[in-house]
Chain A
Amino acid sequence: MQEKKLLDTVMLAGELMLSGGAEVYRVEDTMNHMLKRSGYQDAEVIAFVTGIFVTLSDPQKETLTLTRRIRQRGTNINRIYRVNDISRRFCCDSMSVDDAYAELKEIQAEVLYSPLMKVIGTLSVPPCFSPMFGGNALDFFACALVGVCLAIADRLCRRIRLNDFCSSACGSFVVAFSALLINRYLLKAANSDVMIISSIMPLVPGVTFTTAIRDVLNGDYSAGTARILEASVIALAVAAGVGGGMMLFRTL
């Protein structure tokens, strides 16, 4: 039955966008546009950060409803970009439902950057950020060393499949501890505060928090509050990790 396939496709599109960190109004907008091809009189979409509901209703036909729980969240710009592209082609009728579904499934499995590139990204973020926090050339090198430690910790956490909270805490623990160690034994003139702040940049939930406030301004209060809480939980993990690292260092 074509309607069911369409509903599945639209749901998959919404799920991909939401798990990629898109704003809620964008998710709802895209799904509503795609549902215009259903031929039903009413199409209603509600997206929260943790789940999506879609209902198609028509006096002449049976009502169709689909619910999906969203468990995984992060920032993945590629998903937002690709789904947007597909929905654009889908809405101007140049794409069949089956093709759209197949392409969306492809996006779900797609990873743009290899693990090696991710490691390079993680270890070069801290030195690149350090001048913006007032660091000098020495801090740049110190941050590069901390970045290497962070990248190793990040890889290990991924290998043993730690959950988000624990891996953030673990990463920031390694950052704080290694920054203080390097500061004491290797580069004594470096500023440990700058080192820690610029090294936790890949971990802190700044983007999530800003998206949360944008959702609230757009009137999506439930999604906004959920995202604020999510950001607070990650910030708690990072702060706890840094605090733990500092405490351990003091006991040495």
Chain B
Amino acid sequence: MIIEILSAFFSVYVFTMLLEVPRCYKIHSAVAGAVCWYVYLLMRDRGSSPMAATFYSMLVVALISHILARYLKAPMTVFLVSGFLPVVPGTAIYRCVYYLLLNDTELSTHYLIETVQIAGAIAMAVFIMDSVFRLVQVYHENRKAIS
């Protein structure tokens, strides 16, 4: 498990070079990626489906990205994109088209559904965290307006 988390850390760290992440945020992004994979493994070991595990890990990553974005005054996309790299449905989308080319409709549909499920889980988790942070913002503004 430790090897896998280290692997997630280093894969995100080297991937940031391809995504042109600013140098000062490389470590933060890699930590976000490692945390993402840690939560994913933790939930998968507890018996969650890949979709549910992705959902929980992305909730945590979105939370971290929002906090880092406010703390470091950078857009949250910087940490979010690197954070979801380990769970991104890249293999599933590749397999879907690959089996389509091999004329294996059953496996192709299976991986298509998996792709949409995982991407949907990521999007839902980010969306929920965005809404929560918007609510917090509105709450603070209202308190300021009253006082």
Contacts and interface: CB of A to CB of B under 8 A. Distances in A.
Interface of A: 21-23, 26, 75-81, 84-85, 88, 111-113, 117-118, 120-122, 124-125, 128-133, 197, 200-202, 204-207, 209-210, 212-214, 216-218, 231-232, 235-236, 238-240, 242-243
Query: When A and B form their complex, which 9 residue pairs have the shortest distance between CB atoms, in order from nearest?
Result: A206-B88, A206-B90, A121-B17, A204-B90, A128-B11, A239-B97, A131-B7, A213-B123, A239-B98
Interface of B: 3-4, 6-8, 10-11, 13-23, 25, 37, 73-75, 77-78, 81-82, 84-86, 88-91, 93-94, 96-98, 100-102, 115-116, 119-120, 122-124, 126-127
B115 A209 contact: yes
B100 A131 contact: no
B75 A205 contact: no
A6 B73 CA distance: 25
B17 A118 contact: yes
A37 B115 CA distance: 42
A125 B14 contact: yes
Contacts of B20: 75-79, 111-113
Contacts, number: 152
Given A128-B7, A128-B14, A206-B90, 4 more contacts: A76-B19, A77-B78, A121-B14, A210-B119
A133 to B, nearest CB: 8
A79 B22 CA distance: 9
A213 B122 contact: yes
Contacts of A131: 3-4, 6-7
Contact of A210 (B7, B14, B22, B122): B122
A183 to B, nearest CB: 18
Given A131-B3, A204-B94, A217-B123, A78 B14 contact: no
A244 to B, nearest CB: 10
B127 A214 contact: yes
Contacts of B16: 77
A239 B100 CA distance: 9
A26 B37 contact: no
Q: Is the interface of A mostly helix, strand, loop or mixed?
A: helix
Nearest to B91: A197
A81 B88 contact: no
A201 B92 CA distance: 11
24 contacts: A75-B20, A77-B20, A77-B22, A77-B78, A78-B21, A80-B78, A81-B22, A85-B74, A113-B20, A117-B17, A124-B14, A129-B7, A131-B3, A131-B7, A197-B94, A206-B90, A209-B93, A213-B116, A213-B119, A213-B122, A214-B126, A236-B97, A240-B97, A242-B94
A75 B74 CA distance: 17
A121 B15 contact: yes
A193 to B, nearest CB: 10
A23 B77 contact: yes
A243 B119 contact: no
Contacts of A200: 90-91, 94
Contacts of B116: 213
Nearest to A119: B17
Contacts of B6: 131
Contacts of A85: 73-74
B123 A214 contact: yes
